[in-house]
Structure 1
Amino acid sequence: MNNRWSTLRSGLSVLAAVVLTGIGVAVARPASAADSSPYQAQVFTRGYDTTKLATLTFDLDWRTGTPAENAVSRTNLETVLRVFAANGITAGFGVTGRFAEQNPAETRDIAARGHKIFNHSYSHPDFLTLTRAQRWAQLDKAEAAFRAAGVNSAGWFRTPYRSGYMNAGVNRDLALRGYYINLDWTFDTTGYRAADWATVSSRIDRYTVPGAIIVMHVTTPSTDPGNLQLIIDKLKGMGYGFTSPYHAVTRAPIRTAYFGAGGPSSVFGAPTTAPMQATTAGTAVQWFQRGRFYHSPASGTHFVTGAILSKYRSLGTVTSFLRYPTADERHGAAGGYYSTFQGGSVYWLPATGAHEVHGAIRTKWFTLGAEAGILGYPQSDEVAVSVGRASRFQHGNVYWNSSNGAHEVHGAILTRYLALGGTGSRLGPPTSDEYTVAVGRRSNFRHGAIIWNSAARTTTVIYT
């Protein structure tokens, strides 16, 4: 380690102690819309746990050294992974792009074992000395190396040297590039300085608190790999258990729902933001790689994902008329899916895409069997028509207006009705569903009716 690195670490150890006492840095920021992209990356110097739980992490960046030095560093990494596996611990690894570029197999192995990788820049520069463009270049180049190795950071970052980790400009630049989690640490064992066990043990005594995130280092001359089992045993002796980075950045009730669904190994992948207030106090939303979890006291905690989430987002999520989800996504008829919300539903089928149904039109559709009924899946969102509102389904339409309520029109009668101009025609809006008559079927409208003759297979329009 160079002198500058040691100086930065020494100075920032004091700042770590300040953070532990609860004295933070207040950063003014503009108000943001509910469920919108975070304005700045959320800095985690500790996880959310208030019980005796700690998260273990390692930083991993080694330049090409002598064959002997590289062999020691690789052995150190093997030791770290073996000890974690033996203790059933899921850890975090701040990995530089150049490490991933030079060691793709080792990088894949870290992720394959379930550990969380976070972007530690490409070449480990001091981010306070870089322009926005240079910061983004570091992030992008590192992520490209991760992709080439078959892994990704999911928008997690750790600041090199811990320099500027609380800087508003740095964290704004991270957020603008899609990095919403800045996983810092509570304290460093200082094993990177070749610290002896007495020094490391003393730091554990002084700085370990509930939710602590502990940083260690792999590269020679670090003593952390050799001391790792001692560190684990000491923390256990202090009454501490271990929690993963995925746990550290989530909290109940979303944490409970997320891990109940399978956690990072599920369809959702890793969290990509911290928990955020969704609308009012007591509500929450957290983004994941492939979905979002929402919570409100009235609706509970539920996820939205895939094409249904895309539709929900296009409507404004929790600030839209749909408001909060009231159930997780479920299977529908014919291989489709649907999610229910406080103000309506969104249904998806590959052939139709995702569309919302709400209000009186949804109520009518439900009485007809919803997606499994005569109308099938929605093919449009609800739209305004010349008289009232309408939704189009696979096999018919439902029309609504305040005078006549909601009624369906389908089949040959719908074809004739649309040819005449629908609600804007002389017939006006429907006043009944289709029903059976002597010659076949009939639908009534405000100014007439359409009758379908089942024998002749013709339609007749009657005006009143």
Structure 2
Amino acid sequence: MIAVAVLGLTVVGGVTARPAAAADSTPYRAQVFTRGYDTSKVVSLTFDLDWRTGTPAENAVSKANLDTVLRVFAANGITGGFGMTGRFAEQNPVEAKNIATQGHKIFNHSYSHPDFMTLTQAQRWSQLDRAEAALKAAGIASAGWFRAPYRSGYMDSGLNRDLALRGYYINLDWTFDTTGYQAADWATVSARIDKYTVPGAIIVMHVTIPSTDPGNLQRVIDKLRGMGYGFVSPFQAVTRGPVRTKYFAIGGPAFFGAATTADLDATTTDTAVQWFQNGRIYYSPASAAHYVGGAVLTKYKAMGTVTSLLKFPITDSLPAAGGGRHYDFQGGSIYWMSATGAHEVHGAIRTKWLALGSTGAFLGYPISDETAVTGGRASQFQGGNVYWSSGIGAHEVHGSILKKYLSLGGTGSRLGLPVSDEYTVSVGRRSDFQHGAIIWNSTTKATSVIYY
């Protein structure tokens, strides 16, 4: 990554970099996007949206402006972004919901549009909370995206720290303003487009009267196309590389929601992770890009994600027997089904379990993570246990033999660890252990123990 100093902070491709942190950890500050990640000729179109209740005539014009913006976006196949205040959503919940329903990205633009640099931390959080509550009441959410009113303090480290502490990790700023909100004529707007448009630019416009932006929107689009520019949604603008490719391959915002962080180093600078509403996408050169979500992500996070023994995912979600799912990682797997929850299995125990048929065979799903036992390691499954030690390898014990073995104390008993899987003998079934055996009689259904 190439970094440039701006206002005492580090900016990476238009994004404020966070201080050094543990791998895959919560961002220390909101990441400021003054432009998207793209280096090709594309731009993102956004509008800021706030109006107080005015006269019926003023409200009618503003709503007509909003209708115009949505109609022009739809006619041109463009997904835009809207910095929306809480009071707008509160006063106009139907219009607010309609914007999101049409697929556009919403960002929290505060509740009442104050200058955040004049507010205390508590007041900033109150503005964010009230706005998010109003968005939620309208059936929408910002997903942790913010845009500063008046652009005040948008690069301030303290403000961006306060945002992150409240769960806002994306501060979607902009590259240039058309100044349509000042009733700028087309010549002025056109000149600004010529002067300030760059690859990845985020352009901000305004809806409310006296803005000329709604009426000029089609001309803005046509001019940019004439300059050789295409359009990317805000959803796309804050993603890049293999993570972006995976994100859109699996359905983009429709499946995975919006990104909730910028692109982050997962471990080292050649790896990446990005958090989304419905999961995370991880990338390393050795593993490629894969997503993790749901209860499996919860388990993976509890283990330490990429710093855990599992390391990076090497598959997306895969089906397993009985309606369950699993993900494979460099260091093992996590399996989930509703009846058992999510549990990891790895190493020689996983190899043995897979050889025995995994979820589709008698052992079924794991019901524990791998744990230490006397002399070795063990994982519990629906239909039995698999034990391992370095000198013996991995072996399963199940059914009546397992029940007897556990009643004697399992690996801590005189029998020690299993040295065979269960196998057939003349009277029924048998499992061998370090210091004996357990035999199950198929006629009497009784178990007997041999020590040696």
What TM-score results when the alignment is normalised by the length of structure 1?
0.94
Deviation at 1:234?
0.5
Task: Please point out which of 150, 160, 163 is paired with 1:174.
Answer: 163
Deviation at 1:448?
0.2
Corresponding position of 2:399: 411
SS at 2:153's partner residue? coil
Corresponding position of 2:286: 298
The answer on 1:359 being equivalent to 2:341 is no
- Return the alpha-carbon distance in structure 2 between the equivalents of residues 441 and 89 of structure 1: 67
Task: Please point out which of 186, 189, 198 is paired with 2:175.
Answer: 186
The answer on 1:35 being equivalent to 2:35 is no
Task: Please point out which of 244, 260, 270 is paired with 2:249.
Answer: 260
**What are structure 1's unaligned runs of at least 5 residues?**
1-20
RMSD: 1.0
**What are structure 2's unaligned runs of at least 5 residues?**
11-17
Corresponding position of 1:122: 111
What TM-score results when the alignment is normalised by the length of structure 2?
0.97
Amino acid corresponding to residue 320 of structure 1 in structure 2: S
Corresponding position of 1:73: 62
* Alpha-carbon displacement from aligned partner over 1:189-219 (angstroms, at most 9, x marks no partner): 0000000011000000000000000000000
Amino acid corresponding to residue 124 of structure 2 in structure 1: R
The answer on 1:337 being equivalent to 2:335 is no
Q: What is the correspondence of 1:209-224 to structure 2 with a 5 Å cutoff?
A: 209-224=198-213
Q: What is the correspondence of 1:272-421 to structure 2 with a 5 Å cutoff?
A: 272-421=260-409
- Return the alpha-carbon distance in structure 1 between the equivalents of residues 225 and 434 of structure 2: 77
SS at 1:281's partner residue? coil
SS at 2:241's partner residue? coil
Deviation at 1:22?
6.2
Corresponding position of 1:55: 44
SS at 1:236's partner residue? helix
Deviation at 1:161?
0.3
Amino acid corresponding to residue 253 of structure 2 in structure 1: P
Amino acid corresponding to residue 254 of structure 1 in structure 2: V
The answer on 1:456 being equivalent to 2:444 is yes
Amino acid corresponding to residue 247 of structure 1 in structure 2: Q
Corresponding position of 2:217: 228
Q: Percent identity?
A: 73
The answer on 1:82 being equivalent to 2:71 is yes
Task: Please point out which of 206, 215, 232 is paired with 1:243.
Answer: 232
* Alpha-carbon displacement from aligned partner over 1:59-112 (angstroms, at most 9, x marks no partner): 000011111111110000000000000000000000000000000000000000
- Return the alpha-carbon distance in structure 1 between the equivalents of residues 7 and 152 of structure 2: 15
Structure 1 ranges of 4+ moved more than 4 A: none
Deviation at 1:26?
3.8
Amino acid corresponding to residue 9 of structure 2 in structure 1: V
Corresponding position of 1:441: 429
Amino acid corresponding to residue 111 of structure 2 in structure 1: Y
SS at 1:309's partner residue? helix
Amino acid corresponding to residue 77 of structure 2 in structure 1: G
Amino acid corresponding to residue 249 of structure 2 in structure 1: G
* Alpha-carbon displacement from aligned partner over 1:306-331 (angstroms, at most 9, x marks no partner): 00000000000000000000010111
Q: What is the aligned length?
A: 443
Deviation at 1:281?
1.9
Amino acid corresponding to residue 24 of structure 1 in structure 2: V
Task: Please point out which of 83, 89, 92 is paired with 1:103.
Answer: 92
Amino acid corresponding to residue 415 of structure 2 in structure 1: L
- Return the alpha-carbon distance in structure 2 between the equivalents of residues 220 and 161 of structure 1: 17
- Return the alpha-carbon distance in structure 1 between the equivalents of residues 6 and 247 of structure 2: 29
Deviation at 1:404?
1.0
SS at 1:432's partner residue? coil
- Return the alpha-carbon distance in structure 2 between the equivalents of residues 163 and 319 of structure 1: 38
